Structure 1
Amino acid sequence: MKRPLPDLPVPPHDLVEHLSTLGLVNMYAQFEILYGGRTNRVWKVLGDNGDKVLKLYSPTLRNPLFRNDAKLEALCLKAFGPTGFVPRLRAAGQYKDAHWVFYDHAPGTPWQNGSDKVGELLRRLHSLPNTIPAPAGCNGSADLMAHGSRILQGCRSEIGNELAKRQPSIPVPPTTKTCLIHGDPVAGNILVASRGLTLIDWQCPALGDPCEDLAMFLSPAMQRLYRGSPLSEAEEVQFLSAYRRPEIVARYQQLKPWYAWRMAAYCLWRAENGAPDYSEGLKLEIETLKPIEFI
């Protein structure tokens, strides 16, 4: 089994040498570790011509919910650079058995409030023509049921068995109106600055149901992990109103129990695999699946 990347304060010296030969950094560059990500190693590269970001992708086993594809991230940053809501890509490559991406550092702080702006951002993304060869995402309740069940198969506790019995029962058919989705638009991946919002961490895009992005942003567990608390009912309404796609919002409401059930399965899997902070997220997602009698 491949080991996770060490939590290095600076990139490996030979990687810096390689980047130097490409003219991306100099050998005396200063690095500042960024702690926002939960999978990869990310550093801010301080420079006179503007700060950059170096992301070194973890070569460990795949996450059951979020892919970790450096090539897709590079393609998305290149394709969407002209929109202004993604960082500008500078270069991408490979270091030993891991990949790296190098791009301009986006100013701003992780999103905390103003859910209407996020609704507008996702509407804009979902309206763009797709030129990215992204894999298909989950589409409809049958896909979500299969995905959640696969995640639960990797869980060991009795809660997993009980959660498997509590999957939603109302089917929702697939949509024919798929688009490119970000796949992980959580608060930590949305940076707020005076010029607007920047959407970062494009390692798991998909050609799928736009409801997936809505559900990921609205997820109580993800809001708790990245912002500190779930959205209020008023913030949810504000977000969905600003998205301004009534038919997609109505579809999301139908699929909401399925997304909550799959997210509960994922939180359980993470809690069982070295991330105890997901336990609170599990409880929050289960709350949306009442009546649940095992908590």
Structure 2
Amino acid sequence: MTTEFDRRFFQSLKGQGVHLSAPLPFQGGRSNRVWRCGDQVVKLYLPQQANPLFANDAKREVAALTALAGTGMVPRLQRRGSFEGQDWLIYDHITGVPWQRDAAHVAQLLGRLHDQPGFCALPQGRNGSAELEAQTLAILAQCGDVTVAAQLIGQRPFGQVPPLRQLGVIHGDPVPGNLLTHDGTLTLIDWQCPQQGDPSEDLALFLSPAMQFIYRGAALSEAEEDSFLSAYPDPAIVGRYLSLKPWFHWRMAAYCLWRSHSGEPCDRHALQLELTALDQSSIPKRA
């Protein structure tokens, strides 16, 4: 539905000489307003409650689209600006569909990304089990369901995994909805929360049963997960992911509980998927 604010926004773009086709809103976004205007995409960042896991930073997205231009991993940035205190971006539209199958292809794309040189505007991500624990406890402290939050605190994983010394560029949200398949290739979109971080974080976010369910409708099968881990180019990072796997599932369960305050059934189901994965991850399947 077009609002008065939307009309003012597009009238402002027109007044700046930005010529766009009739805007068609994209469906399914969980953070911002996004429209397709012919061969262009217009993204308007919305003010919202601070998200404890996924940042919503226009400056980071501009930095990522600029630094990674020409790699084929990102859409081409055209313009940026602000309207009534809200940031906006315009970038090329990619004719494709959200990722559904071939997990190995995603692993190869993430491997390429993690080899890219760092760039400005990137904060340092969480690194090692101690920082993941602190972040998870902070998320649980914000959850309205204190009973379930207390139960989750009691499910804290055992053992410690030290920080990684050599960090890399990570997307920070490589879920199926942010992976577009087109012309036999993959492109990552929605770069509002990249970090200089532990590459195993991207592996965990893609493999998360909660994120797969929310964006694809089903968690990955065991065969799909094995295909992904086998195709990722750095075995050391795969091993690190497996060591941290319980911590990542514990954190995602806390995030799903935080999300469920809005009463969305999908977030409650996603929470159960992560709790099941947490139980199953106590003994790694791969050395």
TM-score by length of 1: 0.91
1:279 to 255, 268, 271: 268
2:177 to 179, 184, 188: 188
Q: Any residues of structure 2 matched to 1:1-295 within 5 Å, and which?
A: 8=2, 12-26=6-20, 29-46=21-38, 51-157=39-145, 158-290=147-279
Percent of matched pairs sharing the same residue: 48
Tell me, yes or no, if the aligned pair for 1:9 and 1:32 is still in contact at 8 Å.
no
- 2-structure distance, mates of 1:170, 1:17: 56
Shift of 1:98: 1.1
Give the secondary-structure state (helix, strand or coil) at the position aligned to 1:277: helix
Shift of 1:60: 1.4
Tell me, yes or no, if the aligned pair for 2:106 and 2:228 is still in contact at 8 Å.
yes
Tell me, yes or no, if the aligned pair for 2:63 and 2:119 is still in contact at 8 Å.
no
Match for 1:63: what amino acid? N
Give the secondary-structure state (helix, strand or coil) at the position aligned to 1:285: helix
CA RMSD of aligned residues (A): 1.5
Aligned positions, number: 279
Give per-residue Cα distances to partners, 1:68-90, cap 9 Å, x unaligned.
00111011111112101211000
Shift of 1:12: 1.7
- 1-structure distance, mates of 2:250, 2:80: 36
Shift of 1:240: 1.1
- 1-structure distance, mates of 2:144, 2:33: 29
Query: Quick check: 188-197 or 271-280, which moved more?
Result: 271-280
Shift of 1:21: 3.1
Q: Identify unmatched segments of 5+ residues in structure 1.
A: 1-6
Give the secondary-structure state (helix, strand or coil) at the position aligned to 1:192: strand
Tell me, yes or no, if the aligned pair for 1:9 and 1:33 is still in contact at 8 Å.
no
Runs of 4+ in structure 1 deviating by more than 3 angstroms, as ranges, are: 7-11
The change in CA–CA distance for 1:10 and 1:130 in structure 2 (over 3 A counts) is: farther
Shift of 1:272: 1.4
Tell me, yes or no, if the aligned pair for 1:10 and 1:31 is still in contact at 8 Å.
no
Give the secondary-structure state (helix, strand or coil) at the position aligned to 1:269: helix
Give per-residue Cα distances to partners, 1:208-241, cap 9 Å, x unaligned.
1001000000000000111111111111111111
- 1-structure distance, mates of 2:172, 2:46: 18
Tell me, yes or no, if the aligned pair for 1:270 and 1:276 is still in contact at 8 Å.
no
Give per-residue Cα distances to partners, 1:107-137, cap 9 Å, x unaligned.
1100000001000000000001112321110
